[in-house]
Amino acid sequence: MSSDFDLFRLSEEHDMLRDAVRSLAEAKIAPWAAEVDELGRFPVEAREVLEANDLHAVHVPETYDGSGADALSTVIVIEEVARVCASSSLIPAVNKLGSLPVQLSGSEELKVKYLGALARGEGMFSYCLTEPEAGSDAAGMKTRAVRDGDTYVLNGVKRWITNAGISQYYTVMAVTDPGQRSRGISAFVVDKDDEGVSFGAPEKKLGIKGSPTREVYFDNVRIPAERMIGEPGTGFSTAMRTLDHTRITIAAQALGIAQGALDYAKGYVRERKQFGKAIAEFQGIQFMLADMAMKLEAARQLTYAAAARSERDDNDLRFFGAAAKCYASDAAMEITTDAVQLLGGYGYTRDYPLERMMRDAKITQIYEGTNQVQRIVMARNLP
């Protein structure tokens, strides 16, 4: 898909992609969203339909059997899936997060094997950076990888790993030179079936309940040295470069959640009557809707501008990626909260989807770097 698009208007190709994904999501993913949330189960229906339509990892280049979609196309796919089910949108989002280190820094052999497997739907990818004592201070991780002949032996634990236990492949950051702090961290591809890999119980979360979040344990996991991503000591740099690109996918998820909430609230206030007329006719309601739409569109423009920079790998990507993630997630939290308010008591019940959207929106302000960390990143990278 072309990466060229007008600043103020999407290309016809991008518009067609949005229409196709929206139709598919409404028909095949939305009907399961409430059940997925209520039961806290993985959205297998979404995975099946996304993989059947090559929408589960559209970022993978054609060279490796992928769609070769540009960064904006990836944003649109995630946005439209999140509009109906935030948990399901983490399938394409985390597949990009987990596999992008291989795409950015991996050997050709790693790219052929793992990007190809991902593109063909042979297994999902997850990203293992955070640890119990290394959250925002990711360079303080303790997981070790010790060289032993032609292999590395991994020991440690990773926490808050999205889709853990479901994904087949894991990009794992581990310390190979303890004296070098961030420059002593390397990246590896670990397979779920490698001996010594295990998973903790799913976390009991406020939202995105259909996407399992678990600890991942590495107990003397022996992997071939050729599964290192890039050179020794470059793992942390690769991890940070990855986040520069993938924070935009979290912005996309936030956009989708907010759009779904706004769409539902608009329909409700046009039908709901009080004092003899639709409540949409009251100025107080109109002002709320106007503010919601304004914030959403501002977030969308910033996110799409960041996606363009991601595609070109511009020098100011780090600022724009952080800004898009921060602004869009803050806007999503405000918009979903207001949407619940517009439904009154009904908004507070699980008979309507808005309380789920509000709960789902919260995590976008937290993962892939809290919004407080995003503001630090922005301040350090002012354009």
- 3 — pLDDT class (breaks 50, 70, 90): very low
Is it the case that residue 182 has pLDDT exceeding 70? Answer: yes
Q: How far is CA 71 from CA 10, 57, 353, 377, in A?
A: 13, 11, 29, 21
Instruction: Specify whether 131 is located in the same domain as 226.
Output: yes
Catalytic residue among 79, 215, 311, 368: 368
Domain ranges, residue 208: 125-233
Q: Is 134 part of any domain?
A: yes
Residue among 369, 345, 347, 371 at smallest CA distance from 357: 347
CATH code, domain with 57: 1.10.540.10
Task: Give 51-63 pLDDT, tens digit per residue.
Answer: 999 999 999 999 9
Q: Is 365 part of any domain?
A: yes
Q: Is 2 part of any domain?
A: no
Instruction: Specify whether 334 is located in the same domain as 213.
Output: no
Instruction: Specify whether 267 is located in the same domain as 351.
Output: yes
DSSP labels, 191-230: ETTSTTEEE-PPP--SS-TTS-EEEEEEEEEEEEGGGEES
Q: 98, 119, 140 — which closes off a domain?
A: 119
Cβ pair 211, 37 in contact under 8 A: no
Question: What confidence score (pLDDT) does residue 232 get?
Answer: 98
Give the total number of structural domains in the chain. Answer: 3
Instruction: Specify whether 240 is located in the same domain as 376.
Output: yes
CATH code, domain with 202: 2.40.110.10
| pTM given for the model | 0.96
Question: What confidence score (pLDDT) does residue 7 get?
Answer: 56
Instruction: Specify whether 60 is located in the same domain as 139.
Output: no
Integer Cα distance of 227 and 28 in angstroms: 37
Instruction: Specify whether 262 is located in the same domain as 227.
Output: no
Instruction: Specify whether 226 is located in the same domain as 240.
Output: no
Task: Give 64-92 pLDDT, tens digit per residue.
Answer: 999 999 999 999 999 999 999 999 999 99
Question: What confidence score (pLDDT) does residue 5 get?
Answer: 47
CATH code, domain with 320: 1.20.140.10
Question: What confidence score (pLDDT) does residue 9 get?
Answer: 78
Cβ pair 171, 196 in contact under 8 A: no
Q: Is 7 part of any domain?
A: no
Active site residue 368: yes
Cβ pair 247, 197 in contact under 8 A: no
Instruction: Specify whether 113 is located in the same domain as 136.
Output: no
Is it the case that residue 339 has pLDDT exceeding 90? Answer: yes
Instruction: Specify whether 256 is located in the same domain as 227.
Output: no
Q: Is 1 part of any domain?
A: no
Residue 71 structure tokens: 């960064």
Task: Give 256-289 pLDDT, tens digit per residue.
Answer: 999 999 999 999 999 999 999 999 999 999 999 9
CA dihedral 35, 120, 173, 327 (to 10 degrees): -50
Residue 192 — φ and ψ, nearest 5°? -55, -30
Q: 119, 146, 167 — which closes off a domain?
A: 119
Question: What confidence score (pLDDT) does residue 383 get?
Answer: 86
How high is the mean pLDDT of the chain?
96
Instruction: Specify whether 312 is located in the same domain as 215.
Output: no
Among positive and negative, which fits the CA dihedral 63, 66, 68, 71? negative
Q: Give residue 140's Cα distance to chain centre.
A: 23
Q: Is 172 part of any domain?
A: yes
Q: 198, 233, 268 — which closes off a domain?
A: 233
Q: Is 362 part of any domain?
A: yes
Q: Is 4 part of any domain?
A: no
Kindly give, in sequence order, each residue whose CB lies less than 8 Å from that of residue 332, ignoring residues fewer than 6 positions away. Answer: 254, 255, 257, 258, 261, 299, 361, 364
Instruction: Specify whether 229 is located in the same domain as 242.
Output: no
Is it the case that residue 322 has pLDDT exceeding 50? Answer: yes
Instruction: Specify whether 218 is located in the same domain as 242.
Output: no
